[in-house]
Amino acid sequence: MRACVDWLLAGTHPEPDEIRKDLLHQRASKTKTLAVAIFASLLTSTIAAALTGALWAYAWVAAEVVLGTTRVYLMMKDVAKAKAAQRTGTTIAPIWAGLASAS
């Protein structure tokens, strides 16, 4: 599983571990950006549901709520754990949640 994530996050020239940890920390500290992205996606799905009235659109709204909540929860949990240990947050759970949400 870890090798798959490493492959997903690596570029053509993988960065050293220190740079990778710093990039993961930068990603983990952008909670406002995540909230705006989730809101925008939820707004889009809500408009689609209102305009079409289709079942798939309501399923999309529900998926956005569930996955968005999961992403925020995982990010906040990672940040809290990192603060308690006085280190930078580097878990990959929020990345998997984001990948699931984007899919």
Task: Report d(CA 74, CA 100) in Å as an integer.
Answer: 13
In the prediction, which pLDDT does 42 show? 93
**Helix axis angle, 93-102 to 2-9, nearest 10°:** 70
**For residue 78, what are the domain limits?**
29-102
Better-scored residue on pLDDT, 73 or 94: 73
Domain total of the chain: 1
Q: What is the pLDDT of residues 2-51, one digit of tens each?
A: 677 667 666 667 677 777 677 666 666 677 888 888 899 999 999 999 99
Burial 44-81 (b: 16+ CB within 10 A, else e): ebbebbeeeeeeebbebbeebeebbebbbebbeebbee
Residue 18 lies inside a defined structural domain of this protein: no
Q: Does residue 13 sit within a domain?
A: no
